[in-house]
Amino acid sequence: MMDQKVSELLNDQINKELYSAYLYLDMANFYDSKGLDGFANWYEIQAKEEQDHAMLIYKYLHNNSQTVTLGAIAKPDKEFKTLMDPLKAAHEHEQYVTSLINAIYAAAQEVKDFRTVQFLDWFVKEQGEEEKNSSDMITKMELFGSDPKGLYMLNSELAGRVYSAPSLQI
């Protein structure tokens, strides 16, 4: 039987992952309005990944006989003015999500819920990749974003990203 606190934290994380999808879709919308379809593509794929993360947790809870309670998804509250703003907001958000995953991990460890700890191992690794990707995006924009040709090349690079569903077995 899963600990009640761990179950509640996982339920809440579903909502946080869906909010993340909303936030990234808002970022895609911003870049699309600026004519940067590659940046928009990047964040549309990020939104899909966050939806997948929510579904992985949803299925994990169901597979462990837990009730899933879905709450309202908050409207993204960031306002973007510069091309750098979404990149910095995304990096901050990924750091926040890492703190949430770490808190769930710690709660599961505390009650010796090794199944949930093992499930969360993938999310811990994923968050490391997400933070690295978001940091790299900032670095690339700092290096190339002020040059129109560099921005064009970066946009073209980001347009090449393709969606790949996670392969985590739950």
Q: What percent of the chain has pLDDT over 90?
A: 94
Does the residue 168 lie in any domain?
A: no
Does the residue 61 lie in any domain?
A: yes
Burial class, 63, CB count within 10 angstroms (exposed 0-12 / middle 13-18 / buried 19+): exposed
Judge whether residue 160 has pLDDT over 70.
yes
Q: What is the pTM of this model?
A: 0.94
Judge whether residue 167 has pLDDT over 80.
no
Task: Render the chain in DSSP notation, one character per residue.
Answer: ---HHHHHHHHHHHHHHHHHHHHHHHHHHHHHHTT-HHHHHHHHHHHHHHHHHHHHHHHHHHHTT------PPPPP-----SSSHHHHHHHHHHHHHHHHHHHHHHHHHHTT-HHHHHHHHHHHHHHHHHHHHHHHHHHHHHHHTTSHHHHHHHHHHHHT----------
Does the residue 170 lie in any domain?
A: no
Mean pLDDT of the region 48-54: 97
Q: Please, what is the average pLDDT of the chain?
A: 96
Name the band, by pLDDT with cuts 50, 70 and 90, for residue 164.
confident
Query: CA dihedral in degrees (58, 60, 62, 68; nearest 10)?
Result: -40
> Measured on CA atoms in the order 117, 118, 123, 127, is the torsion positive or negative?
positive
- Taking Cα atoms as reference points, which of 81, 83, 80 lies closest to residue 152? 83
Mean pLDDT of the region 109-129: 97
Mean pLDDT of the region 30-40: 98
Does the residue 87 lie in any domain?
A: yes
| CATH number of residue 132's parent domain | 1.20.1260.10
Spatial distance between the Cα atoms of 145 and 115, rounded to a whole number of angstroms: 44
Is residue 25 a contact partner of residue 43, using CB atoms and an 8 Å limit? yes
Domain span at 52: 4-71+79-159
Does the residue 167 lie in any domain?
A: no
Judge whether residue 168 has pLDDT over 80.
no
Does the residue 166 lie in any domain?
A: no
Number of compact structural domains in the chain: 1
Does the residue 84 lie in any domain?
A: yes
